[in-house]
Amino acid sequence: MIRLGAGPLDRVVAVGAHCDDIAIGAGGTLLTMCRARPGVRVDALVLSGGGSEREQEEQAALAAFCPGADLRLTVLKLPDGRLPAHWEEAKAAVEELRERSDPDLILAPRTDDAHQDHRGLAQLMTTAFRDHLVLAYEIVKWDGDLGRPAAYQPLTPEVAEEKVRLLQEHYPSQRHRPWYDREAFLGLARIRGIECHARYAEAFATTKLTLNLGN
């Protein structure tokens, strides 16, 4: 069954190359979705950070970003910034995720992301999950690689503010980074909101979307 459209959402897959990628790119969408659908299953896979303080941060953060959800999180130990050299391990993890999950929606990095870890994971996802709707989130960074999104999830001001609060609360290891602040997160959300006639929004790229306009 081809499921490239946005139908009922009972099962979601969210993947990130690093702890905090999912929350930065799609935290507001997860909050919105999980609150609207109590009990939704969220299978989350993160390729790096396992066994460190970052894994503990990720566990607490995603629990907060997925309230009421059936959250199943796996954090691996691939070295940060070295995904191309660990391609087989990453590929095996994605294929294992595919074997145990048949999601209605996938949240993943963009295939044109400038970071090699993000880009590599995105390429693996579109290969393993060929018949699924993949929304590719964006992460602002010094590379200046933001593009022109194709899909938007409007965020209420309350959800946008909560996303920022949770990011600051649950990832203390990232607070020293110059881009990791309220202005950056809310600023991008405000721009994406303007683009979709909302106050705030998260934006996504998508390469394939099947429509069903006959129903």
pLDDT tens per residue across all 215 residues of the chain = 344 455 678 999 999 999 999 999 999 999 999 999 999 999 999 999 999 999 999 999 999 999 999 999 999 999 888 888 889 999 999 999 999 999 999 999 999 999 999 999 999 998 999 889 999 999 999 888 998 999 999 999 999 999 999 999 999 999 999 989 999 999 999 999 999 999 999 999 998 877 777 76
Please tell me whether residue 43 adopts helix, strand or coil conformation. strand
Beta-carbon-side half-sphere exposure of residue 17 (alpha carbons within 13 Å): 27
Cα separation, 22 vs 45, whole angstroms: 9
| Runs of H (alpha helix) within the chain | 21-36, 53-65, 87-100, 116-128, 157-170, 182-195
Instruction: Judge contact between 87 and 54, C-beta under 8 A.
Output: no
Q: Are the beta carbons of 189 and 201 closer than 8 angstroms?
A: yes
CA atoms within 13 A on the CB side of 201: 17
* 101 φ/ψ angles, rounded to the nearest 5 degrees: -145, 135
The domain 11-206 having CATH identifier 3.40.50.10320: the answer here is yes
